[in-house]
Amino acid sequence: MDLRSAVESGWEHQLELLRALVRSPSLLGSERDAQELVAAELADIGLSPQMWDVGSHGPGSSPPLLDYTRRPNVTAIRRGAGRGRSLTFNGHIDVVPVGVEANWSYDPWGAAIEGGRMYGRGAADMKAGVVAMLGALRALRNVELGGTLCVETVIEEECTGNGAAACRARGPRTDAALIPEPFNHLALEAQVGVLWATVTVEGRAAHAERADQADNALVKALPVIEAIRALEREVNADAAFYGHPHPLNYNVGVARAGDWASSVPEQCVLEVRLAALPGEDLAAVRARFEAAVDARVEWRGFQADGFTLAREEPLFDVLGRAHTAVHGAPLEFLAFTGTTDARAFVVHDATPATCYGPIGGNLHAPDEWVDLESVRATTLVLALAAAEWCAIP
């Protein structure tokens, strides 16, 4: 059976798996149930999956946000004939929170299908990609490969990257990696660096009857936020990143202050996402931020370098041929103003890695969706690319 037919015959099974994964809310700290679904699928494909807790984080890891007990990565290895290049399929199992559930038209954990799309938190980012790479592995079951094919589903892509970093520390190292993030069939050729800062503004509590004489931390946070926005304008003024007009987004993502309308808030905590250009020294980015912000700053979560990849990478040739075979058009590229786990390979393990995956929308927003036909197409592209990359020379 050729790969196209193999992908076709596995499609209904893939769809069921995607449904089950989207219905498993693998939020930060709750990744295990979804990882067990992945492990069961890998076993069904005929591999021997390992589930292991992310203990040592390895090079390129970030300051953790919470404990790693019972929050496993899943890895499996399909050994090749011994000659030929090796490849890793990497995908993240974690998803970001739902936000305001009333703003969703669909149950965020319902995996509803309508008009060729599946809706749900994580449907696009990136359970569809995980299902595509598992479908590719299944389609390749009876294809002889020279090089070893590794697969991993990791935790914490959305906050530290420590799941992927732990995989690099554990090995094995392969000659390249593919990550099916939902980038609309574009190949990732660059991404910015991302840093998370926790900014604490202190005030002084009081009964609201004498609020005029107290020190409201929430109100004091407003000029801090303005200072962050001013710094964002400054760093973007001369930032060059693939012609992008505003590559470095500084996002005040969380503000926590107060617990009672008649009490003056004594503390306001802001969680801020910063960005940096590829090659920029993260320590300098941190120092610039601390100098601009009149408050206590701690660095927890992402401390992630950006990178660029040359289009001459052989990985792009192989991926491009697979893409063209399926879509009848040349592969196009993406420079991403966010981060992905590709940096664990490219920056910290000297391994070329790119993202290539299905079409999706509303990532990190209500009514996240993935186009199901594009998941099927991605599955075939990944299978073709792996078959060529890992072929017996």
The nearest distance, CB 355 to Zn ion, in angstroms, is 8
Which residue, 183 or 289, has its beta carbon nearer to Zn ion?
Answer: 183
List 31, 41, 125, 189, residue binding Zn ion (CB under 5 A): 125
**For Zn ion, the closer CB: 6 or 151:** 151
Please measure the distance between the N-terminal and C-terminal CA atoms of the chain and give it in whole angstroms: 21
Tell me the torsion sign for CA atoms 130, 131, 132, 134. positive
Number of residues assigned to the chain: 393
Site residue total, Zn ion (CB under 5 A):
3
Bridge partners, 263 (sequence order)? 207
Stretch that binds Zn ion, among 116-124, 143-151, 177-185, 224-232 (CB under 5 A): 177-185
Nearer to Zn ion, 181 or 371 (CB): 181
- Kindly indicate which of the ranges 26-34, 35-43, 174-182, 369-377 contains the residues binding Zn ion, using the contact rule CB under 5 A: 174-182
In order of 239, 279, 338, the CA distances from 276 in angstroms are 9, 8, 10
Q: Rounded CA gap, 173 and 349, in Å?
A: 8
Q: How far apart are CA 52 and CA 61, in angstroms?
A: 17
Nearest CA-CA partner of 111 in 88, 90, 131, 134: 131
DSSP E strand stretches across 96-141 = 113-114, 117-119
- Mask for 73-112, x = binds Zn ion (CB under 5 A): ----------------------------------------
Q: How far is the CB of 212 from Zn ion (least distance, A)?
A: 47
Q: Name 360's bridge partners.
A: 370
CB of 343 to Zn ion, least distance (A): 13
Provide the minimum distance between the beta carbon of 335 and Zn ion in the complex, in angstroms, as a whole number.
16
* Residue 31 sits in the site that holds Zn ion (CB under 5 A): no
Query: Could you say which residues in the range 203-242 bind Zn ion, by CB under 5 A?
Result: none
Task: Tell me the closest approach of the beta carbon of residue 125 to Zn ion, in angstroms.
Answer: 4
Part in contact with Zn ion (CB under 5 A); list of ranges 58-66, 173-181, 276-284, 378-386? 173-181
Cβ–Cβ < 8 Å for 166, 57: yes
When asked if residue 309 is in the footprint of Zn ion (CB under 5 A), the reply is no
> Among the candidate windows 96-104, 125-133, 190-198, 307-315, which touches Zn ion by CB under 5 A?
125-133
Q: Are 132 and 375 in contact (CB under 8 A)?
A: yes
Phi/psi for 207 (5° steps) reads -65, 145
In angstroms, the CA 32 to CA 38 distance is 10
Residues 53 and 162: their CA atoms lie apart, in Å, by: 11
Range in contact with Zn ion (rule: CB under 5 A) among 8-16, 25-33, 178-186, 194-202:
178-186
* Residue 256 Cβ vs Zn ion, minimum distance, rounded to whole Å: 25
368 binds Zn ion (CB under 5 A): no
Tally Cβ neighbours within 10 Å of residue 327: 14
- The nearer residue to Zn ion, 236 or 333, going by C-beta atoms, is 333
**Least distance (Å) from Zn ion to the CB of residue 107?**
21
Provide, rounded to whole angstroms, the least separation between the CB of residue 167 and Zn ion. 16
Residue pair 96/302 in contact (Cβ under 8 Å)? The answer is no
Residue 140 CA from chain centroid, whole number: 25
**Amino acid present at 54:** V
Torsion of CA 36, 42, 44, 50, to 10 degrees: -70
Complex with Zn ion: residue 125 or 152, whichever CB lies closer: 125
Residue 174 CB, shortest distance to Zn ion, in Å, is 20
Tell me the Cα Rg of the chain.
22
User: Does residue number 188 form part of the binding site for Zn ion (CB under 5 A)?
Assistant: no
Give the SS3 label for residue 43. Answer: helix
Nearest approach, Cβ of residue 92 and Zn ion (Å)? 6
CB nearer to Zn ion: pick between 41 and 341: 341
State how far the Cα of 164 lies from the Cα of 384, in Å rounded to an integer. Answer: 24
Q: How many H-runs (helices) and E-runs (strands) does the chain carry? A: 9, 18
Rank residues 125 and 305 by Cβ distance to Zn ion and give the closer one.
125
Is residue 126 a contact point for Zn ion (CB under 5 A)?
A: yes
Q: Which among 99-107, 123-131, 308-316, 366-374 is the span making contact with Zn ion, rule CB under 5 A?
A: 123-131
Contact positions vs Zn ion (CB under 5 A): 125-126, 181
